[in-house]
Structure 1
Amino acid sequence: MSTWLQELELIGEHVKLVPLSSEHRNALVEASSDGELSTLWFTQVPSEQTIDTYLEVAFKDKSNGTALPFVVLDKDTNQLLGCTRFCNAVTKNKRVEIGYTWYRKSVQRTIVNTECKYLLLSHAFENLKAIAVEFRTHWHNHASRNAIARLGAKQDGVLRNFSVEPDGAYRDTVVFSIINNEWPSVKKSLAFKLNQTE
């Protein structure tokens, strides 16, 4: 098993990312109901019906060393705001993806996502010494594609018919990345955005 991804907490000014646990089950379902996120066909946000499988997959990937799942909490109130994780880690190549990210509707397009990505990217490039961090999203998830581009990630391409969805439909996946020599500039941009919203 890989020891590259070590369990930890990441703490910012407004949010904290803590390791996902089974104790977060009910709070995750409650958070996803804010905006009925699980009904969006192009995302995989858990509902009461799918939460147990969602957790099982997250814990399995964590145990085999390819993922590190977090819940996103409001730093002051401890309200659960959403979920994110390092995933599809390839230790040998020092590459990792940030994915499975979703937030309750009431905090979307706020400082929450910017600070979460700042924390995750800082850890990936400065502590894990990653050479590239990927982001992947559904072709039809335009909000996610725009949010990833706003971070400073560049689009690598589109993986057509990348996967088969539960209903049999084919998914085209858009791949973005930030590479290590781009991180100083991306970090400066994210820090500026965070300061603008203080």
Structure 2
Amino acid sequence: MNFNFKEDYILENDVVRLQPLQATDYEELVKFSINEPELWSFNANGPDNPENLKKYIDKALIQKEKQLEYPFVVFDKVKNQIAGSTRFYNINLEAKHLEIGFTWYGKEFQGTSLNKNCKFLLLEFAFEKMQLERVGFRANNLNVRSINAMKSIGCFQEGIMRNFSTDAKGERIDAIVLSIIKNEWFSKIKENLKNKL
């Protein structure tokens, strides 16, 4: 498959729909910036207020134009409302790898089956449609909830990048790096994850 950054890829199942992020999604996402700014405490440059959300969306769309990222808005089909956002980033089609990140959900969507369904659709698309060899993940090493979620879908921990970035307070953080490679997806992770949905 030839992946086209200008094409609208919609990934969905009975639980969730991932659709390309658009500037107009600001109106639905801004409630999280106003009411739940702590969602982005583990990383810098999160959309923790309406102004930062505008910058966040603008930057994501610019990165898409540069063919470096492909951002999605996450729509919970069970609750019938937008739940958050996620994206493919560090996309390298020649080397056949990318990363999944910038993932966040409002509090009422956390701890539900939403995240596993999102990750299943993203991984299925990456390995089976884009025919990639590796999908990477990163997180603040202190973000235990996020790390546990990644490990629960079958991610392999590769290591720690020390003093890699900053959190929302400007403090330096270490970042954990995890991944799934193609043969792992087809040999066990796809089936295991499907059984958890």
Q: When the two structures are superposed, what TM-score results if normalisation uses the length of structure 2? A: 0.89
Hey, what does 1:160 align to over in structure 2?
Answer: 162
Which aligned pairs between 1:125-164 and structure 2 lie closer than 5 A? 125-164=127-166
SS in 2 for 1:52: helix
Hey, what's the Cα distance between the residues in 1 that align with 2:4 and 2:185?
20
Hey, what's the Cα distance between the residues in 1 that align with 2:169 and 2:108?
29
Cα distance 1:117–1:3, how it changes in 2: closer, same or farther (>3 A)? closer
Which aligned pairs between 1:15-34 and structure 2 lie closer than 5 A? 15-33=16-34
Which aligned pairs between 1:31-50 and structure 2 lie closer than 5 A? 31-33=32-34, 36-38=36-38, 40-43=40-43, 45-46=46-47, 47-50=49-52
**Paired letter, 1:193:** K
SS in 1 for 2:94: helix
Instruction: Give me the identity figure in percent.
Output: 38
Hey, what's the Cα distance between the residues in 2 that align with 1:166 and 1:103?
17
Determine which of 178, 181, 192 is the counterpart of 1:189. 192
* Deviation at residue 31 of structure 1 after TM alignment: 3.4
Hey, what's the Cα distance between the residues in 2 that align with 1:124 and 1:50?
29
Cα distance 1:39–1:101, how it changes in 2: closer, same or farther (>3 A)? closer
User: After TM superposition, which residue ranges in structure 1, 4 or more long, deviate above 6 angstroms?
Assistant: none
Hey, what's the Cα distance between the residues in 2 that align with 1:150 and 1:171?
23
Which aligned pairs between 1:25-174 and structure 2 lie closer than 5 A? 25-33=26-34, 36-38=36-38, 40-43=40-43, 45-46=46-47, 47-75=49-77, 78-164=80-166, 168-174=170-176
User: Which deviates more from structure 2 when the two are superposed, residues 67-76 or residues 121-130?
Assistant: 67-76
Contact persistence 2:33–2:53 (CA under 8 A): no
Deviation by residue 1:40-79 (Cα, 9 ceiling, x = unmatched): 5213541213111101210111011111100001225641
SS in 2 for 1:13: coil
Question: What RMSD, in angstroms, separates the aligned Cα atoms of the two structures?
Answer: 2.0
* Deviation at residue 163 of structure 1 after TM alignment: 2.4
Cα distance 1:40–1:57, how it changes in 2: closer, same or farther (>3 A)? closer
Contact persistence 1:164–1:170 (CA under 8 A): yes
Contact persistence 1:137–1:144 (CA under 8 A): yes
Q: When the two structures are superposed, what TM-score results if normalisation uses the length of structure 1? A: 0.89
Contact persistence 2:41–2:167 (CA under 8 A): no
Aligned residues: 192
Unaligned runs of 5+ in 2: none
Determine which of 144, 155, 179 is the counterpart of 1:177. 179
Cα distance 1:37–1:144, how it changes in 2: closer, same or farther (>3 A)? farther
Hey, what's the Cα distance between the residues in 2 that align with 1:144 and 1:26?
26
SS in 1 for 2:51: coil
